[in-house]
Amino acid sequence: MPDLGKLCLLVALILAVYSIFANVYGARRGRGDFILSGRHALWAMCAMVTIAVIALWNGLLRSDFTLEYVASYSSTTLPTVYKFTSLWGGQQGSLLFWTWLLSIFTSIAAFQNRRRNPDTAPYALAVMAGVAIFFLFMLNFITRPFDLISPVPIEGSDLNPLLQNYWMAIHPPSLYTGYVSSTIPFAFGAAALITAKLDDSWIRSTRRWAIFSWFFLTLGNMFGARWAYEVLGWGGYWAWDPVENAAFMPWLVMTAYLHSVMIQERKDMLKVWNLALIGLAFSLTLFGTFITRSGVISSVHSFTQSGLGPYFLAFLIAIVTCYTALLIWRSPDLRSPAEFESYLSREAAFLFNNLVLVGIAFAVFWGTIFPVLSEWVRGVKITVGPPFFNRVNGPLALALIFLMGVGPLIAWRRTTADRLLRSFAAPVILGVSAGLVAILSGIHEWYAATGFSLAAFVLGTIIVEFRRGVSARRHMVSEPPARALVNLVAKNNRRYGGYIIHIGVLAAFVGIIGSSFFKVEVKKSVAIGESFTIGSFSLKYLGLDQHENAHLEQATARLAMMHDGREVTVINPAKLFYKRQQQPATAVAIRSTPFADLYVVLAGLDDNGNRATFEVFLTPLVFWLWAGGLLMAMGTVVVMWPNVRERAAIAVAIGRSRAEEYAGEAASGGGR
Amino acid sequence: MDRGLSKLGRRIKPRFLIGSGLIVVAIAYLIISSIRSTSEYYLTVPEVSARATELRGQSLRIAGRVKPGTIAWDPSTLTLRFAIYPIPPAANSTAANDSIKPVAVDEAPSFSIVSQGEPKPDMFAPNRDVIVEGKLEPDGTIAATQVMTSCPSKYRPAGAK
């Protein structure tokens, strides 16, 4: 099986190289047979990588310790589920997993475009094959998943305990899916530049891929935050660590991209900007891999260094250079006929939202690489921690939320003062009163009060939008309100799905404000029978249960949780000790309500468990962060839902671009 | 097509450039001013001992290794005292683990750390690599606000790729 895996990876590499040649040659010479064979090569490559993945899974599930990878990241006592997820528990496996996803997505894109985009698709597929070549090269020659180990160990050294968690089972695949699927819009953008077919057909053909990528980036970040919250036991969910930033930056840029392409679709503007954004989003996925793998930037949770850094850096530089050169080369053809007319227009709001999103991404980037830069330039390593990111991104987040409320309510091109007043009167009143309520109820931090007020304002604008739509429907086709609402969303899923996502962002924003400004922390060491208080809760240490199996030891504290003098429940924070890796871990007890989370960590045991140290956090509103994530995901599903009208629009657009092409060819009289 | 018409394709009106420019300047200002006010030195033990007088009273992050035999933990007051010594150069590689012999620990420069009001980190043990955040006090000890243990070699970061 290992030999088979190895062989398959080599064949996959050859197929990818062949596919580039066949696609490009076929497209240049107009040889349909080569294009066809290039496509088939990609499908065969996907099959080869799939077999390699199955081979590695087989090794993991059978605990085949002749494989170095299995010996390093698995063990006989590891629960089966985690043997399965060990595929992405280590470096070689996660690269293989990445390559697998890439080959699957490439195959799907090849299938979707077997008739569509005949001019650009071969080049786009060649770009995807090029990316695949890089990863396959790494897997074949640099970091091989099927390397053998000798002497063969009797037992593996197990998966890191922190990764033995169900969030870890779903967080990396989500993030990788988000990362990898950004390759497809990128490849089509590059193909548009190569072939000079610079209308918005590349955007339309890959719109669903871009949203798909955004969906999984959102989930990946949310799952990662949730994992940090539940597993790491420090009461927070986001620490602005380089590893987290690496996942956050592509999300920001992809968000900007999804908004600015709307301007191109509507107004035929910002063509260069859109192509630049998708290039940036894709580059940032590689950059993220580079910084987490190279050890260039020290992160609290990535002390691992590996030799992969230079390869990723070289690939990243090659991609950025080629793509920038293409953009510059084509820039004379990318000027747009339309122009911005008024600050009070939706495209202006979108433009500013883009600047702010990219600004946040740049700030995050700058803060992440600052230690490296300062070391190069001044010879001293200077770090910037969470205070930097919070100070910069706090005000920018407010601006972004504000624009999120304004954008959808103002019209394209320009808006009159009268219309503005009608649209915004109710939301402004709602926002101002929410701000007043916040201040009167004793919230003195200006940021929090402003944030709550803005969130209420934006929620108001979204409600106004839904009300408008519903009443318009009810005028046209007398429907009961609930029915009208459902039909409204179903018929205009892109628009109203977008609003649902916005509501999710608001909820998450409120959760972030609540947890950043109003978190209370108590650290206390108590003997059995003693109790202590946090906020209106009181906790009494009842005792300790200990048990042990072949895989781990566990010490579970029993704490009676009292609220306003009444016992609510007994909670059980625990400390685990994983035997193979000789590593402790914590199991946090979380009691969550929409008002606040009570988060209890068993931080230490002394005196045989007669004394225990607890670290307790009372975090208001953090529930809404997770609820917001869920809403964002649901809204994205609504947006992605197949829509008959949109299909028709795509068909028309493709038809139109073909017609233009014929007209163009006729006019230029033969061309090059 | 109309390549000759407008050389640069500046179709965005000047006032939009001004608006966009203002946003860019505001973001740049935010970044620069925040970097100034929030940056901390990230140093190793020898670096701190070489520049001890100049760093007195400053916020620091120091990477070091926990010196065996110096750990004192009082759970009732949550006070942790220990000393750190330089991480041997070879230990930076992936092979780093707990089995590295403390070579000439006694001669190497070391700093006493006092951490108060924080639980003892899970993986805290002699010869573990730690990052200490805190202030260098006049008496040469470091009052830690945070002690982070770095993970043993097998650890893969959260967003591992």
Task: Identify the residue among A330, A335, A524 best suited for mutation to test binding to B, counting B beta carbons within 10 A and taking the highest.
Answer: A335
Region A34-41: what's the mean pLDDT? Answer: 96
Choose among A82, A166, A190, A127: nearest CA to A580.
A82
CA distance A655 to A635: 30
Q: Clarify whether residues A511 and A653 are in a common domain.
A: no
Contact B78 A171 (CB under 8 A): no
pLDDT at residue A218 above 60?
yes
Q: For residue A444, what pLDDT is reported?
A: 85
Q: Which of A94, A356, A603 sits opposite B160 (nearest CB)?
A: A94
Q: Clarify whether residues A8 and A150 are in a common domain.
A: yes
- The answer for residues whose C-beta is within 8 angstroms of residue A474's C-beta and 6 or more apart is A481, A484
Q: Determine the structural domain holding residue A650 and report its residue range.
A: 642-672
Region A518-537: what's the mean pLDDT? Answer: 91
Counting residues of chain A whose pLDDT is more than 90, the rounded percentage is 58
Q: For residue B101, what pLDDT is reported?
A: 46
Q: Which two tokens stand for residue B96?
A: 């780093």
Amino acid found at A527? A
Contact B160 A172 (CB under 8 A): yes
Q: For residue B98, what pLDDT is reported?
A: 42
Q: From residue A133, give the alpha-carbon distance in Å to each of A50, A113, A212, A258.
A: 16, 21, 23, 28
Q: For residue A231, what pLDDT is reported?
A: 83
Which residue of chain B is at minimal alpha-carbon distance from A397?
B27
Choose among B63, B23, B59: nearest CA to A400.
B23
Q: Domain holding A564: CATH number?
A: 2.60.98
pLDDT at residue A665 above 80?
no
Q: Clarify whether residues A661 and A587 are in a common domain.
A: no
Minimal CA separation from A246 to chain B, in Å: 8
Q: Clarify whether residues A43 and A113 are in a common domain.
A: yes
Contact A172 B11 (CB under 8 A): no
Minimal CA separation from B122 to chain A, in Å: 6
Least confident range from A70-74, A285-289, A643-647: namely A643-647
Strand, coil or helix: A15: helix
Contact A384 B76 (CB under 8 A): no
CA distance B155 to B161: 13
CA distance A484 to A486: 6
Q: From residue A105, give the alpha-carbon distance in Å to each of A43, A122, A209, A641, A649.
A: 10, 15, 9, 19, 24
CA distance B54 to B52: 6
Q: Which of B76, B150, B159 sits opposite A525 (nearest CB)?
A: B76
Q: Clarify whether residues A511 and A557 are in a common domain.
A: no
Q: For residue A653, what pLDDT is reported?
A: 62
Which residue of chain B is at minimal alpha-carbon distance from A363?
B31
Contact A613 B161 (CB under 8 A): no
The strand pairing partners of B63, in sequence order, are: B44, B131
Best-predicted range by mean pLDDT among A445-449, A507-511, B36-40? A507-511
Region A316-336: what's the mean pLDDT? Answer: 91
Q: Which residues of chain B have pLDDT under 70?
A: 1-15, 89-107, 150-161
Q: Clarify whether residues A500 and A549 are in a common domain.
A: no
Choose among A92, A244, A77, A278: nearest CA to A158.
A77
Interface of A with B in 107-126 (CB under 8 A): none
C-beta atoms surrounding A660 within 10 Å: 12
Contact B30 A363 (CB under 8 A): yes
Question: Side-chain half-sphere of A311: how many Cα atoms within 13 Å?
Answer: 16
Compute φ and ψ for B69, nearest 5 degrees.
80, 5
**Tokens 């009444």 label which residue?**
A566
Q: What is the dihedral of CA A149, A155, A156, A162, to 10 degrees?
A: -170
pLDDT at residue A557 above 60?
yes
Question: Side-chain half-sphere of A281: how many Cα atoms within 13 Å?
Answer: 32
A366 touches chain B (CB under 8 A): yes
Strand, coil or helix: A386: helix
State how many domains chain A has.
4
Minimal CA separation from B76 to chain A, in Å: 6
CA A481-A501-A493 angle, 5° bins: 55
Q: Which of A339, A607, A613 sits opposite B12 (nearest CB)?
A: A339
**Using one digit for the tens of pLDDT, what is the confidence trace for A175-210?**
999 999 999 999 999 999 999 998 889 999 999 999
Q: For residue B3, what pLDDT is reported?
A: 40
**Using one digit for the tens of pLDDT, what is the confidence trace for B49-68?**
888 788 888 788 888 889 88
Q: For residue A660, what pLDDT is reported?
A: 57
Q: Where are the domains of chain B?
A: 10-39, 41-149
Task: Identify the residue among A183, A384, A406 best suited for mutation to test binding to B, counting B beta carbons within 10 A and taking the highest.
Answer: A384
Q: For residue A154, what pLDDT is reported?
A: 86
Q: For residue A667, what pLDDT is reported?
A: 47
Q: Clarify whether residues A473 and A567 are in a common domain.
A: no
Question: Side-chain half-sphere of A431: how many Cα atoms within 13 Å?
Answer: 22
Q: Clarify whether residues A547 and A607 are in a common domain.
A: yes
Provide the pLDDT confidence category of residue A645 given band limits of 50, 70 and 90.
low
Task: Identify the residue among A183, A249, A303 best suited for mutation to test binding to B, counting B beta carbons within 10 A and taking the highest.
Answer: A303
A305 touches chain B (CB under 8 A): yes
Contact B76 A91 (CB under 8 A): no
DSSP A594-645: SSEEEEEEEEEEEGGGTEEEEEEEEEETTHHHHHHHHHHHHHHHHHHS--HH
Q: Which two tokens stand for residue B130?
A: 């730690």
Q: Quick check: is A379 in a domain?
A: no
**Tokens 């109820």 label which residue?**
A441
Are B48 and B136 in contact by the 8 Å Cβ rule? The answer is: yes
CA distance A230 to A216: 20
Q: Clarify whether residues A526 and A502 are in a common domain.
A: no
**How many CB contacts within 8 angstroms connect chain A with chain B?**
199
CA distance A672 to A665: 10
Q: What sign results for the dihedral spanned by CA atoms B146, B150, B156, B161?
A: positive
Q: Which of A292, A337, A395 sits opposite B157 (nearest CB)?
A: A292
Minimal CA separation from B74 to chain A, in Å: 9
Best-predicted range by mean pLDDT among A97-101, A410-414, B147-151? A97-101
Contact B123 A611 (CB under 8 A): no
**Using one digit for the tens of pLDDT, what is the confidence trace for A460-501?**
999 998 998 888 888 888 788 888 888 888 888 889 999 999
Domain B41-149 homologous superfamily, CATH: Nucleic acid-binding proteins (2.40.50.140)
Question: What is the pTM for the complete model shown?
Answer: 0.88
CA A652-A29-A134 angle, 5° bins: 85
Q: Quick check: is A352 in a domain?
A: no
Q: For residue B109, what pLDDT is reported?
A: 79
Q: Which of B38, B117, B129 sits opposite A388 (nearest CB)?
A: B38
Q: Which of B38, B75, B117 sits opposite A391 (nearest CB)?
A: B38
Q: Quick check: is A272 in a domain?
A: no
Interface of A with B in 56-85 (CB under 8 A): 72-73
Q: Clarify whether residues A429 and A494 are in a common domain.
A: yes
- The answer for residues whose C-beta is within 8 angstroms of residue A294's C-beta and 6 or more apart is A305, A306, A308, A309, A310, A312, A313
Choose among A15, A67, A61: nearest CA to A42.
A15
Preceding omega of A151 cis (within 30 degrees of 0): yes
Give burial (CB, 10 Å; 0-12/13-18/19+) of A4.
middle
Q: Clarify whether residues A588 and A655 are in a common domain.
A: no
- The answer for residues whose C-beta is within 8 angstroms of residue A399's C-beta and 6 or more apart is A352, A356
The strand pairing partners of B111, in sequence order, are: B84
Q: Quick check: is A600 in a domain?
A: yes
Region A644-659: what's the mean pLDDT? Answer: 63
Q: Quick check: is A286 in a domain?
A: no
**Using one digit for the tens of pLDDT, what is the confidence trace for A343-371?**
778 888 888 999 999 999 999 999 988 88
CA distance A578 to A598: 26
Strand, coil or helix: A301: coil
Region A258-275: what's the mean pLDDT? Answer: 89
Region A285-296: what's the mean pLDDT? Answer: 76
pLDDT at residue A574 above 60?
yes
Minimal CA separation from B2 to chain A, in Å: 9
Q: Which two tokens stand for residue B106?
A: 């006694």
Are A454 and A398 in contact by the 8 Å Cβ rule? The answer is: yes
Helices A446-476 & A386-409 angle (0-180, nearest 10): 30
CA distance A19 to A42: 6
Which positions in chain B touch A606 (Cβ < 8 Å)? Answer: 75
Q: Quick check: is A474 in a domain?
A: yes
Q: Which of A157, A300, A611 sits opposite B150 (nearest CB)?
A: A300
Minimal CA separation from B117 to chain A, in Å: 7
Which positions in chain B touch A73 (Cβ < 8 Å)? Answer: 154
Q: Quick check: is A243 in a domain?
A: no
Which residue of chain A is at minimal alpha-carbon distance from B37?
A388
**Tokens 């939320």 label which residue?**
A401
Minimal CA separation from A653 to chain B, in Å: 21
Q: Which two tokens stand for residue A376?
A: 């190069």
- Average pLDDT score over chain A: 88
Provide the pLDDT confidence category of residue A652 given band limits of 50, 70 and 90.
low
- The answer for residues whose C-beta is within 8 angstroms of residue B150's C-beta and 6 or more apart is A300, A303, B128, B129, B130, B131
Q: For residue B12, what pLDDT is reported?
A: 54
Which positions in chain B touch A382 (Cβ < 8 Å)? Answer: 39-42
Q: From residue A343, give the alpha-carbon distance in Å to each of A81, A350, A411, A416, A422.
A: 54, 11, 11, 11, 18
